[in-house]
Structure 1
Amino acid sequence: MTDLVTRTRARGVHTLSLDATGTRNALSAALVAELSGALADCAGDPDVRAVVLTHTGTTFCAGADLRDPPDPAALAALLRQLVELPRPVVARVTGQVRAGGLGLLAACDIAAASRTAGFAFTEVRLGVAPAVISLAVLPRADPRALARYCLTGERFDAAEAVRLGLLTMTADDVDTALAPVLDGLRRSAPEALAETKRLLTARVLETFDRDAAELTALTARLFSSGEAREGITAFLERRDAAWVV
């Protein structure tokens, strides 16, 4: 079986690459499970100083796999795992990011993207809502600035993603931009890194503690709704949904 997440290591930095290019790295049940296992391995390895989450192909993550969507609770657990991991997690993006992929970005501690990367919260156009991913997105980004894109599903560029708080930085060459970041992490004491991350993510984890059960239930309800059936069918058939006016 082909790995859905490939792993490489260099000087204490463990890189996890989403590698399901046939589905544009969509979050299937299998991909969520494999990424969760890879993160658990990183958490238990004392030689891992930091984790880079990146992708193969032209899409970082297309959101939920509409043919094999993950259980909402499993997705919430994966996002929490990224937030709680006792190693800094750095997102490296050189392509497109949609819906659930933005949840992955928000759950990372540092996120960098090339200037050509593109983003969209497409859930409303499918008849659902960005419920589970909001656990990571809302504590990290500006809700007022997000409102336009969450309500309309419009695409936006990397510079706008920085303004919204979804990205730390954007650059023509994302690897060059990340080089001093990774060097800094390599020079930092492991326990100090873990405790500093704990301080920085405390408010995010409070949101998970308070809202995860309610939002996973909401996601499950919306995905079983008539609107979602129509929206997903229309997307797969490459046509407008019935409600488009």
Structure 2
Amino acid sequence: MELVRTATDAGVTTVTLDSPANRNALSTPLMRELLDALGAAVTNTSVRAVVISHTGPVFCSGADLKETAEARETGRIPAELLGDVLAAIWEFPKPVLARVAGPARAGGLGLIAAADLALCTREATFAFSEVRLGVIPAVISATVLPRLAPRAAAELYLTGNVFDGVRAAEIGLVTAAVEAGELDAAVTAYTEALVRGGPLALAGTKQLLRRRPAETIRADLAELAERSAGYFRSAEGREGVTAFREKRPASWVPVTPE
């Protein structure tokens, strides 16, 4: 039984968590299938962006606690594999967007934070529920804390309180919260914009967003100017500038069937 399904259309691969019976919990089999799906999307040159979505009313309930209890003494705890999943999403060379149409808890928030963009419904709920289970949100902190306002992180980590999509957008966990009936249209609008970017430029921009600045402003500007010049001189950069001047889509923009 597949726990993760994939479908590709117009340059966008949708990776769907499909284990609604346990609220898309992060079991070892589900995470391994998710890693496989991401790996396939990396090597497929027709894939320009990835959307992480879900079936059922819950986006992701966090770690599979039943498996965790069984593996505590006998094997690898699922939370240990979660680090590999979060790193794969964070380091993914193509844009990743999380589509959240329902509740997310604990490790599920790590997935959302690892994505470059995240859209949720206003009614979706979130919680860092770890402390109420006597554990800590350790692994997901690598992706969550760079996103969240520090005071909000302290409040929500320590209390485990539930918050809605509007608050999630206010504190930086998601890009935007929209009405439930508008979610898919909002996802499509973002993916249509993403596939218009040059593949190498998108990968380079993701690196730019996460780079550490040089020690001085002049050193930083020199390094950035060198990067900029390299992209302008590249075949992709030349094609993009030519396409703009000729008022036509660049060669990398997927052709949409009429």
Q: Shorter-chain TM-score: which interval?
A: 0.7 to 0.9
Structure 1 segment 8-23 matched on structure 2, within 5 A: 8-23=7-22
Greater Cα radius of gyration, structure 1 or 2:
2
> Quick check: 2:52–2:98 contact (8 Å CA) kept in 1?
yes
Higher relative contact order (CA 8 A, sep 6+): 1
Residue 79 (structure 2) pairs with residue 72 (structure 1): yes
- Read off the aligned partner of 1:5 and give its amino acid letter: V
- Read off the aligned partner of 1:23 and give its amino acid letter: N
Residue 188 (structure 2) pairs with residue 179 (structure 1): yes
Q: Calculate the aligned-residue CA RMSD, in Å.
A: 1.1
| Deviations, residues 93-125 of structure 1 (Å, cap 9, x unaligned) | 110100000000000000000111111110011
Structure 1 segment 138-157 matched on structure 2, within 5 A: 138-157=145-164
Equivalent position to 2:210, from 201, 217, 222: 201
- Read off the aligned partner of 1:152 and give its amino acid letter: T
Equivalent position to 2:165, from 158, 168, 184: 158
SS in 2 for 1:139: coil
Residue 113 (structure 2) pairs with residue 125 (structure 1): no
What are the ranges of 5 or more consecutive residues in structure 1 without an aligned counterpart?
204-245
SS in 1 for 2:59: strand
- Superposition TM-score, scaled by structure 1 size: 0.80
Q: Which residue of 1 aligns with 2:201?
A: 192
Counterpart-to-counterpart distance in 2, 1:47 and 1:101: 28
How many residues of Structure 1 are paired with residues of Structure 2 in the alignment? 202
- Superposition TM-score, scaled by structure 2 size: 0.76
Structure 1 segment 51-90 matched on structure 2, within 5 A: 51-69=50-68, 70-90=77-97
What are the ranges of 5 or more consecutive residues in structure 2 without an aligned counterpart?
69-76, 213-258
Equivalent position to 2:119, from 112, 125, 128: 112
Counterpart-to-counterpart distance in 1, 2:123 and 2:211: 32
TM-aligned CA deviation for residue 73 of structure 1: 3.2
Q: Which residue of 2 aligns with 1:31?
A: 30
- Read off the aligned partner of 1:64 and give its amino acid letter: A
TM-aligned CA deviation for residue 9 of structure 1: 1.1
Counterpart-to-counterpart distance in 2, 1:199 and 1:82: 16
- Read off the aligned partner of 1:3 and give its amino acid letter: E
TM-aligned CA deviation for residue 202 of structure 1: 3.7
Structure 1 segment 210-225 matched on structure 2, within 5 A: none
Runs of 4+ in 1 over 3 A off after TM superposition: 69-73
Counterpart-to-counterpart distance in 2, 1:200 and 1:18: 27
- Read off the aligned partner of 1:176 and give its amino acid letter: A
Tell me which moved more, 68-77 or 32-41.
Answer: 68-77
Counterpart-to-counterpart distance in 1, 2:39 and 2:150: 31
TM-aligned CA deviation for residue 43 of structure 1: 0.7
TM-aligned CA deviation for residue 200 of structure 1: 1.6
Give aligned-pair identity as a percent.
Answer: 49
TM-aligned CA deviation for residue 56 of structure 1: 0.2
SS in 2 for 1:54: strand
TM-aligned CA deviation for residue 201 of structure 1: 3.1
Tell me which moved more, 81-90 or 137-146.
Answer: 137-146
Residue 134 (structure 2) pairs with residue 135 (structure 1): no
| Deviations, residues 182-238 of structure 1 (Å, cap 9, x unaligned) | 1111111111011111122346xxxxxxxxxxxxxxxxxxxxxxxxxxxxxxxxxxx
